[in-house]
Amino acid sequence: MRRALDLAAAIGAPGPATYPNPRVGCVLLGADGSMIAEGFHRGPGTPHAEVDALSKAGEAARGATAVVTLEPCNHTGRTGPCSQALIEAGVARVVYAQADPNPVAAGGAERLKDAGIEVEQGLYAAESRELNRVWTRAAELQRPYVTWKFATTLDGRSAAADGTSRWVSSRAARLDTHKLRALSDTMLVGTNTVAVDDPALTVRDLEDRPVGVQPLRVVMGSRDLSDDRRIFDDQAPSLHLRTRDPRSALAELWERERRHVFLEGGPTLAAAFLEVGLVDEIVVYVAPFLLGAGRSAVADLGITTISEAFRPRVRSVDVLEPAAPGEEPNVRFILEPQKGEQ
228 annotated as ligand-binding: no
pLDDT at 168: 87
What average pLDDT score do residues 282-304 get?
Answer: 94
pLDDT band at 325 (very low <50, low <70, confident <90, very high): confident
Q: DSSP assignment of 48-101, as one string?
A: PHHHHHHHHHGGGGTT-EEEEEEPPP-S-SSS--HHHHHHHHT--EEEEEE---
- Please give the share of the chain, as a percent, with pLDDT higher than 90: 86
Domain ranges of the chain: 2-138, 143-336
pLDDT at 323: 81
pTM of the model: 0.94
48 annotated as ligand-binding: yes
pLDDT at 324: 80
| Residue-wise pLDDT tens digits, 96-123 | 999 999 988 889 999 999 999 999 999 9
pLDDT band at 341 (very low <50, low <70, confident <90, very high): low
Helices vs strands, H then E, count in the chain: 10, 15
Point out the catalytic residue in the list 50, 257, 327, 336: 50
pLDDT at 78: 80
* CA 263, 198, 205, 319 torsion-angle sign: negative
Q: Please confirm whether the linkage preceding 167 is cis (ω < 30° from 0).
A: yes
CATH of domain 2-138: 3.40.140.10
pLDDT surpassing 70 at residue 187: yes
pLDDT surpassing 70 at residue 340: no
Catalytic, 130? Answer no
165 annotated as ligand-binding: yes
Across all residues in the chain, what is the average pLDDT?
94
- The CATH superfamily of 143-336 is Dihydrofolate Reductase, subunit A (3.40.430.10)
57 annotated as ligand-binding: no
